[in-house]
Structure 1
Amino acid sequence: MKKLLLSAFVAMAAVAANSPTALAQTACPAAPAPTVLSGNLTTQTLSRNTIYLLQGFVYVPNGVTLTIEPGTIIKGDKVSKGSLIVQRGGRLIADGTPTQPIVFTSNQPAGSRAAGDWGGIILCGSAPQNLPGDPTIEGGPVANFGGTNAADNSGILRYVRIEFPGVEFVANNEINGLTLGGVGSGTIIDYVQVSYSGDDSYEWFGGQ
């Protein structure tokens, strides 16, 4: 009986292999193109099921909240020095978890990534700082920072990885891995890792 079953199985396999409808194993399909983020964002949530690409200076304007789900991957475009800038009055809620961190990384292929592949994250608040007037954050974006609200709440960065950022636009004027300008005590910055930065990993300008 075992021999009969084995013979039948071999015969069926041979028929399937010679059938015009038989399908050979194919390579895995290419990953879908990332969703591009550019210009001024509106209040929205970025999903862990989508990969995003920052092109150029991407702004979270005053009155807008950008929420990023745990486990989401956001890549920075190398050519345009993609960067995320939260302007004063905007909020970034990037609240990851130990098992599902939020990852900002280079858009270069794995194995070809290097420090300075993209800009970084800039968070501007309305807390006191010691510069005169209404200063603009370094790095080139349109973003002022500082004010009188020591309890400024510019959002949450928790369990966030920032990889291969840090670019110099002009001498002594750089975007760091994470730049905080006039960010107040109501803002939560916890468990944030910056790796392989082309400039400072972290830089603070005033704040509480």
Structure 2
Amino acid sequence: MKKSFLALALSGAMLITSCEQEVVIDDAQLQSIVDAAVAAALANYPNTQEIADAAAAAATAAVANGLGDIDSAIQEALDAAEALTNPPLVRVGTGGVTEITSDTTWTNDKIWLMDGKIVVEDGATLTIEEGTIVKGSAGTGANATVLIIAKGGKINAVGTAEKPIIFTDANDQIVYANGTTSPNRSATDKGLWGSVIILGNGVVGAANGEANIEGVVSGYEFTKYGGSDNTEDSGVMKYVSIRHTGTAVSPGNELQGLTMGGVGSGTTIENIELVGSEDDGIEIFGGAVNVTNIVIANFDDDGIDLDQAYAGTISNAVVILASGSDTAFEIDGTEEPNDAILGEYTVENVTVYGRADAAKFDTFGNWKSDATGFNDNVLFVDFPTGSTLGGIDADTYAGAGTATAEGKLFFRDFVAVTADSKTDVVAGQVEEASATWVSVSASRPSGKGADESVFAWTQFFN
């Protein structure tokens, strides 16, 4: 009804202007008339950039094709707005375990609702198109919804800065018309579904070189990770936002924002956002996968948690603590009982934001259980007075360094923006004379920590 009325009104306007004399309407005036007609037709839809873009495309096409296409322009705009506002919902799984055994694609014209354990099995690839919204059903304990890329399976989730892939909970009201911003969720919402887990055949510092991933009920083959190939390829994740995760199966057996076990360096993980985990932001068990450009915000436990001789590099990260966060870093060494499997990680170019209302003060990080690796260029800002290092294992600590070395834990260029002294910050965790890698500054220094310019696409920085 609205479409027909608008088209009739517009035709009437053109007839009136043609009485008595010939009136010439140039392209700009014509575009303005069509724009107004299309905008009026969309008055009942959300006022978002995505719908505005759809309307503009329809109006421009109408002008290019002549006035006879005004009705078509209005209908195209209505159809596009409807698709963005009320996309079809596709359910994947009905609780329990759902196996994906062949190559599968989740497209960006639907909302994909996972329910239960969705397992991409050995030999299969799950492709997720740019901009796709994936939601996880609510469930606690053994019933938590989790996407698991099993050993030998692959994920191909490649978003863009303009159209990131979004994982969120089932009750998040976000649809494509909203862009990347939820109408009912905030960054502080946590633990509303499980998480994303990627498992591979990389080297793992565990007994027999293999383990079962935490956060998932044991007894299934798809929970196993570990092998002998630290270059293995478990797929690609680029421009992916994972939100409101971390349901626990049982105490001490939690899900994170993103968990990887035994994932090799052939896997690409870059431009990732993890928001609102009820446990860790990211946890990596062994393997040698590299992670580049990652934002981790509002987690309950640790921002970056590394275990079981992880031997990859995490580069350019921003970690934003919540008031109840435990630490920015929790880093452990090998769990192989004979120390036959060692791994030296690198963490570099990180900015960590604290909270004035922090519930505890030893939040800078814990390096324990014979952790070995190299920590470089880390900036701590916005922490309350009295904030300190949490702990550093004396067995592997080797002071200042410039690169990894087998069996050693090195640091370089840690800067805390604080009125506290260096002695206060170190807090007796190591001999202060050896802590030449720590400095304090009354103001934020330039050129330290992460390059935040690459994070404009994220929920936190947008």
TM-score by length of 2: 0.38
Counterpart for residue 21 of structure 1: none
Counterpart for residue 226 of structure 2: 146
Q: 1:47 aligns with which of 96, 107, 116?
A: 107
Distance 1:121 1:67 in 2: 14
Q: What's the C-alpha RMSD, in Å, of the aligned pairs?
A: 2.2
Distance 2:258 2:281 in 1: 6
1:119 maps onto 2:194 in alignment:
yes
Counterpart for residue 36 of structure 1: 91
How many percent of aligned residue pairs carry the same amino acid? 34
Alpha-carbon displacement from aligned partner over 1:66-103 (angstroms, at most 9, x marks no partner):
01110100001113422100000000010111111110
Q: 2:213 aligns with which of 137, 141, 166?
A: 137
Equivalent position SS for 1:207: coil
Equivalent position SS for 2:260: strand
Equivalent position SS for 1:104: strand
Equivalent position SS for 2:212: coil
Distance 2:87 2:233 in 1: 35
The residue identity in structure 1 corresponding to 2:122 is: N
Q: 1:91 aligns with which of 131, 134, 154?
A: 154
Alpha-carbon displacement from aligned partner over 1:136-161 (angstroms, at most 9, x marks no partner):
11111531001001111000011000
Distance 1:207 1:169 in 2: 24
Counterpart for residue 166 of structure 2: 103
1:183 maps onto 2:253 in alignment:
no
Shift of 1:32: 4.8
The residue identity in structure 2 corresponding to 1:121 is: V
| Greater Cα offset, 157-166 or 28-37 | 28-37
| Greater Cα offset, 105-114 or 70-79 | 105-114
Counterpart for residue 128 of structure 1: 203
Higher relative contact order (CA 8 A, sep 6+): 1
Alpha-carbon displacement from aligned partner over 1:27-62 (angstroms, at most 9, x marks no partner):
767835521112011311110111101101110011
Distance 1:149 1:163, change over 3 A: same
- Mark the structure with the bigger radius of gyration: 2
Q: Looking at secondary structure, tell me which structure has more helix per residue.
A: 2
Q: Is contact 1:156-1:189 (8 Å) kept?
A: yes
Q: Is contact 1:127-1:152 (8 Å) kept?
A: yes
Q: Is contact 1:81-1:117 (8 Å) kept?
A: no
The residue identity in structure 2 corresponding to 1:85 is: I
The residue identity in structure 1 corresponding to 2:91 is: V
Counterpart for residue 65 of structure 1: 125
Q: Looking at secondary structure, tell me which structure has more strand per residue.
A: 1
Shift of 1:191: 0.5
The residue identity in structure 2 corresponding to 1:60 is: V
Give runs of aligned pairs for residues 161-172 of structure 1, distance below 5 A: 161-172=241-252
TM-score by length of 1: 0.83
Distance 1:184 1:27 in 2: 49
Distance 1:31 1:107 in 2: 15
Q: Is contact 1:76-1:107 (8 Å) kept?
A: yes
Shift of 1:112: 5.5
Distance 1:60 1:40 in 2: 6
Distance 2:278 2:113 in 1: 19
Q: Is contact 2:115-2:137 (8 Å) kept?
A: yes
Counterpart for residue 425 of structure 2: none
Gaps of 5+ in 1: 10-24
Q: Is contact 2:144-2:249 (8 Å) kept?
A: no
Counterpart for residue 284 of structure 2: 204
Say how many residue pairs are matched: 187
Distance 2:43 2:152 in 1: 50
1:81 maps onto 2:144 in alignment:
yes
